[in-house]
Amino acid sequence: MKKQLQESIELAKHLLGQGHVATYIPELSKVEPKQFSAAIICHSSLETFEFGEKDKLFSIQSVSKLFSLTLALNELDDKLWLRTNKEPSGMAFNSLVQLEYEQGIPRNPFINAGAIVTTDILCEKYGKDAFAKILSFIQTLAGNDSINFDENIYQSEKSTGHRNYALAYFMKSYNNIHCDVDLVLDTYFKMCSIMMSSTDLARAFYFLCNGGLDIKGNVVTNSRHTKRINALMMSCGTYDNVGEVAYRIGLPCKSGVGGAIVAALANNYSICVWSPALNEKGNSLFGMKVLEEFTTLTGKSSF
């Protein structure tokens, strides 16, 4: 798979820097758009192949929603689905309109409203320690204790995150946010500001290609949840771009406006491609192309 990933990167290189880095979070607009990195971990052998700026840390943004979902599912099991739905939204990740029609229940746990709910569930359980719990969960999954959040990105999100405050207060009016909104959003913004490399993320997603066991064989979640998290990534993991992602890439993916796209294929591999310039839906242009070429060259996709 090393050769095919290398070749996919070559085929996508002309797209590097095309698209736009996210600017609605001011701190993210400073990121140099032409950078990239990629990492793949092969199932069973655990062989790891890395490309580009492999040590470069970037803001994981919405990829963090995968981790809060996993912890919330472990906590509430099927009761989670009383607090969020599991259908694609067909709307931007920070859209407000659907929430009123649907009485404060987000369409899915991967749009902002849904991730604010999964964060609220963790705040209910861990109070002020919720962020520490999420961070240590991610550190364990990636096998890297030095992972942390970026204070400047966190402050930047907090001072400009008016839509997220609107979403949280709106859901609170429907009693779907139980904790103090400031605590929930502080936890959410810090979680989005966590800095990781492609290799960290490929390692952290390994449990999704390995029946719920992490890279060291520890149980992250059960196989039923693992199947369902993969299904949710496929149907909701790349915002209102999921149809295009399923069509072109054919893998369950989770993306973030920091430019990462992370994917897993059961019993085959976990993979992360990062490059910060995004398409109009908020997904890395280069990342989409690399993954599309990779599943074509290897024939290893979900379909």
The angle at the Cα of 83, spanning 80 to 85, to the nearest 5 degrees, equals 85
Residues paired with 20 in a beta bridge: 278
Told to check if 94 binds ligand GLN by CB under 6 A, we report yes
Q: Which is nearer to ligand GLN, 229 or 257 (CB)?
A: 257
What residues numbered 203-242 form the site for ligand GLN, per CB under 6 A? none
Which one of 88, 104, 256, 259 is in contact with ligand GLN (CB under 6 A)? 256
Q: Which is nearer to ligand GLN, 66 or 215 (CB)?
A: 66
Q: Which is nearer to ligand GLN, 111 or 220 (CB)?
A: 111
Q: Which is nearer to ligand GLN, 5 or 138 (CB)?
A: 138
Spell 174-213 as b/e; 16+ CB within 10 A means b: eebbebebebbbbbbbbbbbbbbbbbbbbbbbbbbbbebe
Helix H or strand E encompassing 39: strand 37-42
Told to check if 257 binds ligand GLN by CB under 6 A, we report yes
Q: Which of 81, 83, 76 is nearest to 104 (CA)?
A: 83
Instruction: Identify whether the C-beta of residue 196 lies closer than 8 Å to the C-beta of residue 240.
Output: no
Q: How many residues bind ligand GLN (CB under 6 A)?
A: 11
Name the packing angle between helices 112-126 and 130-142 (round to 10°): 110
Told to check if 155 binds ligand GLN by CB under 6 A, we report no
Q: Collapse the DSSP code of 48 into the 3-class scheme (helix H, G, I; strand E, B; otherwise coil) and give the result.
A: strand
Residues paired with 49 in a beta bridge: 40
Q: Which is nearer to ligand GLN, 50 or 157 (CB)?
A: 157
Site string for ligand GLN, 59-78 (x = CB under 6 A): --xx----------------
- Chain residue whose CB lies nearest ligand GLN: 62
Residues paired with 263 in a beta bridge: 253, 271
Told to check if 282 binds ligand GLN by CB under 6 A, we report yes
In the complex, what is the shortest distance from the CB of residue 255 to ligand GLN, in angstroms, rounded to a whole number? 7
Q: Which is nearer to ligand GLN, 36 or 154 (CB)?
A: 154
Told to check if 19 binds ligand GLN by CB under 6 A, we report no
What residues numbered 165-204 form the site for ligand GLN, per CB under 6 A? 192
Instruction: Identify whether the C-beta of residue 14 lies closer than 8 Å to the C-beta of residue 143.
Output: no
In the complex, what is the shortest distance from the CB of residue 124 to ligand GLN, in angstroms, rounded to a whole number? 20
Helix H or strand E encompassing 142: helix 130-142
Which one of 8, 84, 139, 164 is in contact with ligand GLN (CB under 6 A)? 164
In the complex, what is the shortest distance from the CB of residue 70 to ligand GLN, in angstroms, rounded to a whole number? 17
Chain length of the chain: 303
Cα–Cα distance for residue pair 265/233, rounded to 1 Å: 11
Q: Which is nearer to ligand GLN, 133 or 281 (CB)?
A: 281
Cα–Cα distance for residue pair 87/181, rounded to 1 Å: 25
Q: Which residues bind ligand GLN (CB under 6 A)?
A: 61-62, 93-94, 112, 157, 164, 192, 256-257, 282
